[in-house]
Amino acid sequence: MNKILHPYGENDPYAKVELVASTKIHGEKYDVDQMPALAARVSHAASGKTGENPERDKKLMHYLAEHKHMSPFEHQSATFKVVLPLFVAREWMRHRTQSYNEVSMRYSADPVGKFYIPQIWRKQAETNKQSSVGEVEDQEGCTKILKESYEFAVNSYKKLLEKGVCREQARSVVPVGNYTEFYATANLRNWIHFYNLRIAENAQWEIRQYAKCIGEILNKLWPESWGALRFGS
């Protein structure tokens, strides 16, 4: 399984989603992908039935997801290392059910200067203040303006450091197009919540690409339990 995906394609040198850790089961009797069935059946002291009939396990997980019995999906967790533009990270971190640890520009200047360049410049939607639609005519002109702005920001940052300014203040000039990186951990129930919200057509394109990567990795990691959530929640 490919544990590293590039949300914006191979041409983007920074954007990345990497699976770094996931729940394991100790022992050989059960598979992690059966966890929701195991957790659900414990209510009837019948966890031992899990694995006897894979189709029944699958149907049970689909039933749970379809009828919003979600607590059995809280026993699998996955941790991702994510590299993404600051403005996408701030949108992502509105999901407060995840645990985060992010690179700090107080401690390191390394992230400064790694910038996001849009592949397509979009127009502002007239009927929805938070959405975009169509393409701007002067694509090259917009990219030129952005790159000039980035260059000015980096030079300003370096000049502040040269004057002895501390990193925690110098970072004030860093634009939201700068890449950051963090670790994000959540259980399966909360990953599907993130996925469903951020994969929606009205979600911002930049974060939708990350949601697609999360979904692709989890689908390969736990096809039965993730599949039940994907089609039942």
Instruction: Please report, in tens digits, the pLDDT of each residue of the chain (233 residues total).
Output: 668 999 999 889 999 999 999 999 998 889 999 999 999 999 888 788 887 888 999 999 999 999 999 999 999 999 999 999 999 999 999 999 999 999 999 999 988 999 999 999 999 988 777 778 889 999 999 999 999 999 999 999 999 999 999 999 999 999 999 999 999 999 999 999 999 999 999 999 999 999 999 999 999 999 999 999 998 76
* Token duo for residue 85: 């533009």
Instruction: Read off the pTM.
Output: 0.93
Q: Beta strands 99-102 and 179-187: pairing type?
A: antiparallel
Q: What are the chain's domains? A: 4-114+178-232 (3.30.1360.170)
- Residue 47: predicted pLDDT: 80
Which of 41, 167, 198, 208 is the catalytic position? 198
d(Cα 213, Cα 35) in Å, to the nearest integer?
A: 23
Cβ contacts of 227-230, under 8 Å, gap ≥ 24: 228/36, 228/58, 228/61, 228/62, 228/64, 228/65, 229/65, 229/73, 229/188, 229/189, 229/192, 230/192, 230/195
Q: For residue 143, give the 3-state DSSP assignment.
A: helix
The answer to whether residue 198 is catalytic is yes
- Residue 27: predicted pLDDT: 83
- Residue 165: predicted pLDDT: 97
210 CB-near residues (< 8 Å, 6+ apart): 7, 17, 82, 84, 88, 92, 198
* Token duo for residue 171: 């970072």
d(Cα 86, Cα 65) in Å, to the nearest integer?
A: 33
d(Cα 198, Cα 216) in Å, to the nearest integer?
A: 14
